[in-house]
Amino acid sequence: MKKSASFRSAGRVQRKKRATSLVKALTADRLDKMHDAGEEITAHLDLEKASRPGREVQRVNVDFPVDLLDAIDREAKRVGVSRQAFIKLRLADTLANRQR
């Protein structure tokens, strides 16, 4: 027998309420212990609200000469990352080396 849309919707609401109550019942200390023990904790997290403090993103535009972009693209492909990821990695590495 096929269940009605309202029946299925009510089931989702109940599951969501149970999941929400689990998140509220766990303390940060308990989540830390679960993580350290190698347990799966993603079911207890609200990833839609997750953020990385101090890691806000600001978009910038940078003009590169075509030959430099070609070299970046070749190296990014060799390493197996996107152009953007390669540029970020190299900048982060360079800045980290300069601070030593």
pLDDT at 27: 87
Residue 86 · residue 75 · CB < 8 Å: yes
Low-confidence winner among 4-13, 23-32, 71-80 (lowest mean pLDDT): 4-13
Mean pLDDT, rounded, of the chain: 83
Give the best-scoring range by mean pLDDT among 6-10, 38-42, 50-54, 61-65: 61-65
Q: What is the pTM (predicted TM-score) of this model?
A: 0.49
CA–CA separation, 32 and 75 (whole Å): 38
**Which residues have CB under 8 Å from 19's CB, separation 6+?**
43
Residue with the bigger pLDDT between 3 and 80: it is: 80
pLDDT at 15: 60
